[in-house]
Chain A
Amino acid sequence: MTMNAIEAHDLVREHKQGRGVCGVTLAVARGECFALLGRNGSGKTTLTRLLLGMERPAAGTLFVSGERIEKGSRKHLGNTGASLDTSIHWEQLSGWQNAYFAARSYGLARSAVESRLEELFVLADLRRCAHDPVRTYSFGMRRKLSHIQALCHDPELLVLDEPTGGVDAHFCTKLAGLVSQRTRQGRTTWIAGNDPDWISGVATRVGFMDSGKICAEGTPEALVREVAPFQEVRVVMEKAPPLPFPPIPGIRSLVQNGNEATALMQRDPHLVPGLVTWIASHGGVIKALDVQRATLRDAFLLKTGRELKP
């Protein structure tokens, strides 16, 4: 039995249209927040559906929560909460009724359901319309309801497909906090998404998916460092004496243009204070400072942008 929360070996699932998953091998440890970034049609949702046992792998093996997953595998679902990219609810019933049904189906005790749902509906800012029929909900509200249903039983494995699609920035921030809290508590989260900025704040490890394969994998920091090992620091000075090249290891260049100086340096957090101290020691009075670093978005675009590849 595998000790990882998710483990896939040479997983293949092909669709008639040619998209799907083509030989994915990966392992997600318990307590990790693993995020998958990829273009539309890169196979993220197919891989997510495979995890949930909604599709059968054509080849390869997949273990989730220690259970080997085939189509129709159900056992692991008791400890899994999933919110897929399409929000499907019983439209004539209220949001509360939908969530209540999900919570009870997961086996949450009656005594615990009300308080747990209350907490989640408040978090999602849906408390006021909790008892309105879902057909009156907006797209974003439906997405939030899906997330509530996935979270209601505080699952060991949380699967979120496009979690930030259509929801407001307030909820995105709260969801990020919730996912981070889960990670600290040792619970596993799987995210398939298209929002590198949000993902870089919550994921402990990220995989870039392209054409059904994971083409890069690592911590957000490592992935960014891999494609862009340098950061650019722009310094605006009130008083700017002519500056020589700083003798600080890690600084690659310094270009001064009047009161403005731009330094290219390695992504080392100690280098910026070092540069500031050095400028001050040469009589420069700093008015503003702007650090520009590559982000996960840049790394993703560079790694998966086919037109950018040589």
Chain B
Amino acid sequence: MKPENVFQLEIAGVLSDKLSLFLRFGFTWLVALPLTILPVSPGMSISGLMMLFLLTTFFGAVIATARRRSEGLFSRLRLLPLSRAQIGGDYLLAGTLLGVVRLTPVLILFALVRGEKISASLLLHVAGLLVVTVFVLHGAGMLVGMVRKSNQEAHLLGALATGLIALVSDVLPVHAGMQGFARAWNPLSMLAGSLERVFHGAGSSEASQALACGLVLVAALVVFVWRGLAGKFAGNPTLPLFSKGGLGGFGKGTGQGEDPGDGKTAPRE
């Protein structure tokens, strides 16, 4: 795979390290297995899965971001004409895609083993919420990971933040009144709620919710395909940061396809 942007770079990096890939996916599925197939209470099963989601997405993003910072990968990227938004956005999208791919089998297994009378709209609802949850948690994890540079501090801060998110998401039931509040805004809490409906066989989801989640899925798919294929056929893989000839007027040979006469300058897009 020839990476053309940070999104493709990250995906290529993950795919090229087979052992790491096996460990990442293996850990998730190994932890998820008893929570889905063993006859534990639904509360325990869903809370366990939500904690797993938190660990694999939020905590994982904290550690990965701190590692990238300490290894100087962000500094390396900052030498290229890429904006912070491009770099961060591509990392976020790549992390979201990997998180969704990693966690989708867990939800499928949960639905198959523990689900009752599941409608298509409910499935759509769960899938949309999964994408949103992974996206939000991964983004939050990246922000926390940027705070500390050392891995040790990032681990500590990440663990503390994971606990806090678990509390405000009603993953760890501390107060009954908290649930309604959390489910009004917190995607992790909403996902837990939708899994409860899967478990209890609540049937279909509200049409508006299913539609919103369907749109989220379509948008996510479009964005993943766009970043995954950006630059593969034609055009510049980076976002159009600068227009041609708009590089500060450096004069002759601005690199925008000009040939200074030596025949060496490679054309640009």
Contact = CB atoms under 8 A, between A and B. Distances in A.
Contacts of A74: 81-83, 241
Contacts of A53: 78
A116 interface: yes
Interface in B1-31: 1-5, 8-9, 12-13, 16-17, 20
Interface in B207-233: 231
B247 A75 contact: yes
Q: Is the interface of B mostly helix, strand, loop or mixed?
A: loop
Given A78-B255, A79-B255, A101-B3, A154 B266 contact: yes
Interface in B234-248: 234, 236-238, 241-242, 247-248
A155 B248 contact: no
Give the size range of A's interface with the partner. 35 or more
Give the size range of B's interface with the partner. 35 or more
A118 B253 CA distance: 22
Contact of B13 (A93, A105, A186): A93
B19 to A, nearest CB: 10
Nearest to B232: A110
B175 interface: no
Given A79-B254, A82-B79, A100-B3, A107 B249 contact: no
A67 B250 CA distance: 9
B72 interface: yes
Interface string A92-131: 1100010011101111111111011000000000000000
B39 interface: no
Interface string A71-88: 010111111001010101
B247 A154 contact: no
B265 interface: yes
A267 interface: no
Which among A30, A92, A104, A112 has the greatest number of chain B C-beta atoms within 10 A? A104
A156 B79 contact: no
A156 B248 CA distance: 12
A23 interface: no
B9 A101 contact: yes
B173 interface: no
B250 A79 contact: yes
Given A104-B4, A156-B255, A84 B79 contact: yes
Interface of A: 1, 5, 30, 52-54, 65-67, 72, 74-79, 82, 84, 86, 88-90, 92-93, 97, 100-102, 104-113, 115-116, 133, 153-156, 185-187
6 closest A-B pairs by CB: A112-B266, A78-B81, A67-B248, A88-B76, A77-B81, A65-B250
Interface of B: 1-5, 8-9, 12-13, 16-17, 20, 71-73, 75-76, 78-84, 231, 234, 236-238, 241-242, 247-255, 260, 262, 264-269
